[in-house]
Structures are given as C-alpha cells and as structure tokens.
Amino acid sequence: MDWIKEFFAKGWPMLRDAPFPFIVMFVLGFLVCKIYYHREMSLYRAAMGFTEEQRRRVTTEKYLKKYPPQKRGREKGYELIWTGSGAVFLHDFRTQLRHHVANTETMSDLRFDWHRIRTVSSEELDRIKKGEPINTRV
C-alpha cells in the first residue's frame, strides 16, 4: 500500500515530464476507446433484440398504418365483426380475410371502437377465410 501512496504523492511521473503531443494523443486514445466501447455495447444490445415495450410499439405502429382507426367501414377497407359472443374479428376487405383480435389490450392499442363492431351470423363468419391473428402484446 505504501508504494501506491508514494506513486500518487510524486504525481504521475510519466505524464508530468511528457511532451504536450503525447498527452494529447493519450487523451484522444482514451476517448476513442470509450466511444468504441459504447458503440459495441449498443450494437450488442440491438443484436439481443427489442425490449417488450419496443416490440409492442413497433407492432402497434405497423397495424395502425395498415388499419387506421379513422378509416373503417366497407368502403375504407375493413370492419370489426363478431357473432354476438366470443371473439372479435377484423374483416379485411382487401384480402378477404378475417383476423382474430387477440385481446382487449390490442383493441385499445389500435384505438378500435367497441361500439362499431357489427354482429354477423356464424354462417357469414365461416364463409370468410382465416388470416393471422392481430396481437400487439406478443
């Protein structure tokens, strides 16, 4: 422990007598290493994948672009349907597919209006081919 006290008492001998360009290069090297480390860590975090919140935000934005809440109805491309009990489906008129809306959180995330769900018969629902379920909480 005494050698540490002596070392710091004398100051940093290698930097005290060093020429100015050496000190500048030493500091720049340190900063470059720090920047490189932070870049590598951010790339590592990106490679590990999205966090749950980021994944939900990206998924929600994707569905909001595809099914904007202010553009629903037969002439706009989609509508929400159900048989009167059970699951709610999104009927996409462009692809002629029905997509199961997975949960109430998805309904809220996509700003779907609960009062604009059209009730259909089970026969009419069965005539529409199934598509991928819509879930923003994956």
pLDDT on residue 15 = 57
The answer to pTM > 0.75 is no
pLDDT on residue 74 = 63
Q: Pairing state of beta strands 97-101 and 88-92?
A: antiparallel
The half-sphere exposure of 110 on its side-chain side, counting CA atoms within 13 A, is 28
Q: Above 90 in pLDDT, residue 134?
A: yes
pLDDT on residue 12 = 59
**Domain residue extents for the chain:** 2-47, 52-130
Could you give phi then psi for residue 122, rounded to 5 degrees?
-65, -30
